[in-house]
């Protein structure tokens, strides 16, 4: 190989890109792909050694540095511009970017890689999965920092015994990860300490999900705006804890899975592909379950039947409180979903109609008898509301009522 030529090994996975080469070349190429400190992770020593050896034509001297980069829309576009496009059915691609030393970004050419061994694709795929897990765990840790939910404080709730066990598991995984990062392996003694924690993580995850489902059930069954205001108020105060507990359980499961891949890579490489696929499938199923619980809660707090014009007129304080509570719940779910990478979570603004809109529309309903109030409202109760609305309309002509919210277009959850 021309000593004046720089080379960076590239492996494109569904979730991101592995880059292996000299530190300067990897950094330059990562910057071209739009990398930042938030979406790149350094390869661990064992994965750097394994991925460097997988690319035929990369010398030991060149494979000094490695990074995993999250595949964003921008980085994918840059890859395509450089002629780096996935050519296999599953979207995976290995290749080498080459260019003159010191200017690999300015003069780049790409060619499919000749992999060193038949096992190289499995090694690269396992490394990519492990780094994706580590990055996902880091993103969830950032979420916990963002909502100021420190693990030790979060898990001080001793009444939730199963959740509180996460603190001890977290400490054990901290130690195992530190050993792995320093030694490039997970020794038998270290693995023995952590391999049995999976059941406790599943229990903690299930406990948090059950609370989300319980919140959804409460909001679905409440029958009055006063009750709905009370229930949603309780949820706004309790939901952050359970989302944080859920995030912690997901994070620890991802960290355990990454360590499991490192252990299998070192001790049973022939089983690596089976383990990798099993881990990826299990994680996808886990996130599907989390998405379903979050989506159910988002749907449940959307109760337009309790935010009708009549309800706004009868219970203006409840309606205003409901607006605030529901949109707080939506905001809590939205931040969690972003960090957990939950897609297509539909959230609906609670403020379907402002007070002045209700005050205008109900008198119109009076002229149309009780049609606008719906068949669920009894005739006697209708008349009380309609009389109230007529008085409000008379007063409104003299003084415009306060508007506690703004009109928004509603979109029903699918």
Q: Is residue 409 part of a domain?
A: no
| Residue 104: per-residue pLDDT | 62
| 326 in Cβ contact with 350 (< 8 Å) | yes
| Residue 60: per-residue pLDDT | 75
Q: Which residue has the tokens 């499991």?
A: 260
Q: How many domains are there within the chain?
A: 3
| Residue 413: per-residue pLDDT | 39
Supply the angle between the helices 316-340 and 225-267 in degrees, to the nearest 10: 10
SS3 327: helix
Check whether residue 203 and residue 282 sit in a common domain. Answer: yes
Nearest CA to 314 out of 388, 227, 378 is that of 388
| Residue 129: per-residue pLDDT | 92
Q: Is residue 369 part of a domain?
A: yes
Q: Is residue 330 part of a domain?
A: yes
Check whether residue 50 and residue 109 sit in a common domain. Answer: yes
Check whether residue 388 and residue 245 sit in a common domain. Answer: no
Local mean pLDDT, 10-residue blocks, the chain (414 residues):
69 85 82 72 87 82 84 72 57 69 62 80 90 91 78 55 80 94 91 93 93 96 89 92 92 95 90 92 94 94 74 66 89 90 80 42 41 37 44 49 35 40
- Please give the structure tokens belonging to residue 157: 């709730």
Q: Which long-range contacts (CB under 8 A, 24 or more apart) does 366-374 make?
A: 366/390, 372/309, 373/308, 373/309, 373/310, 374/308
Q: Is residue 73 part of a domain?
A: yes
Q: Is the pTM of this model over 0.85?
A: no
Check whether residue 165 and residue 283 sit in a common domain. Answer: yes
| Residue 401: per-residue pLDDT | 40
Check whether residue 178 and residue 32 sit in a common domain. Answer: no
Check whether residue 147 and residue 104 sit in a common domain. Answer: no
Check whether residue 82 and residue 51 sit in a common domain. Answer: yes
Check whether residue 209 and residue 318 sit in a common domain. Answer: yes
| Residue 386: per-residue pLDDT | 44
Share in percent of the chain as helix, strand, coil (round to 5): 65, 10, 30
Check whether residue 260 and residue 310 sit in a common domain. Answer: yes
DSSP codes of every residue in 266-280 = HH-GGGHHHHHHHHH
Nearest CA to 342 out of 356, 355, 332 is that of 332
Check whether residue 61 and residue 183 sit in a common domain. Answer: no
Between CA 329 and CA 316 the distance in angstroms is 20
| 98 in Cβ contact with 104 (< 8 Å) | yes
| Residue 295: per-residue pLDDT | 93
Name the residue range of residue 264's domain.
124-340
Check whether residue 101 and residue 233 sit in a common domain. Answer: no
Q: What is the CA radius of gyration of the chain?
A: 28
| Residue 44: per-residue pLDDT | 87
- The distance of Cα 375 from the centroid of its chain, to the nearest Å, equals 41
């Amino acid at each position: 190989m021309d000593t004046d030529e720089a080379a960076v090994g590239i492996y494109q996975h569904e979730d991101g890109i592995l880059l292996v080469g000299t530190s300067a070349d990897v950094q330059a190429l990562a910057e071209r792909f739009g990398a930042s400190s938030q979406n790149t992770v350094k390869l661990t020593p064992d994965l750097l050694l394994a991925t460097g050896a997988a690319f035929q034509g990369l010398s030991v001297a060149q494979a000094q540095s490695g990074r995993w980069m999250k595949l964003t829309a921008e980085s994918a576009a840059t890859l395509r511009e450089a002629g780096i496009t996935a050519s296999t059915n599953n979207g995976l691609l290995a290749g080498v970017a080459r260019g003159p030393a010191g200017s690999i970004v300015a003069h780049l050419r790409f060619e499919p890689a000749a992999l060193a061994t038949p096992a190289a694709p499995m090694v690269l795929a396992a490394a990519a999965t492990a780094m994706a897990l580590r990055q996902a765990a880091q993103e969830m840790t950032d979420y916990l920092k963002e909502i100021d939910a420190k693990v030790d404080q979060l898990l001080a709730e001793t009444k939730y015994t199963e959740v509180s066990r996460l603190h001890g598991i977290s400490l054990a995984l901290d130690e195992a990860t530190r050993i792995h990062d320093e030694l490039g392996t997970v020794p038998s003694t270290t693995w023995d300490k952590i391999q049995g924690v999976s059941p406790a993580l599943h229990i903690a995850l299930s406990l948090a999900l059950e609370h989300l489902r319980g919140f959804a059930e409460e909001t679905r069954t409440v029958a009055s705006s006063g009750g709905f205001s009370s229930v949603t108020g309780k949820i706004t105060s309790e939901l952050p804890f359970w989302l944080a507990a859920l995030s912690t359980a997901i994070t620890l499961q991802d960290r355990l899975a990454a360590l499991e891949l490192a252990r299998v890579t070192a001790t049973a490489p022939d089983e690596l592909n089976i383990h990798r696929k099993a881990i990826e499938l299990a994680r996808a199923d886990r996130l599907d379950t989390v998405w379903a619980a979050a989506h159910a809660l988002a749907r449940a707090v959307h109760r337009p039947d309790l935010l009708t014009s009549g309800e706004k007129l009868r219970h203006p304080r409840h309606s205003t409180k409901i607006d605030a509570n529901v949109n707080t719940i939506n905001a809590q779910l939205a931040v969690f979903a972003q960090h957990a990478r939950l897609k297509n979570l539909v959230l609906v603004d609670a403020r379907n109609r402002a007070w002045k809109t209700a005050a205008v529309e109900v008198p119109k309903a009076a002229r149309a008898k009780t049609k606008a109030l719906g068949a669920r409202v009894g005739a006697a109760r209708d008349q009380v509301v309609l009389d109230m609305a007529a008085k409000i309309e008379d007063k409104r002509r003299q003084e415009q009522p306060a508007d506690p919210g703004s009109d928004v277009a509603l979109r029903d959850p699918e």
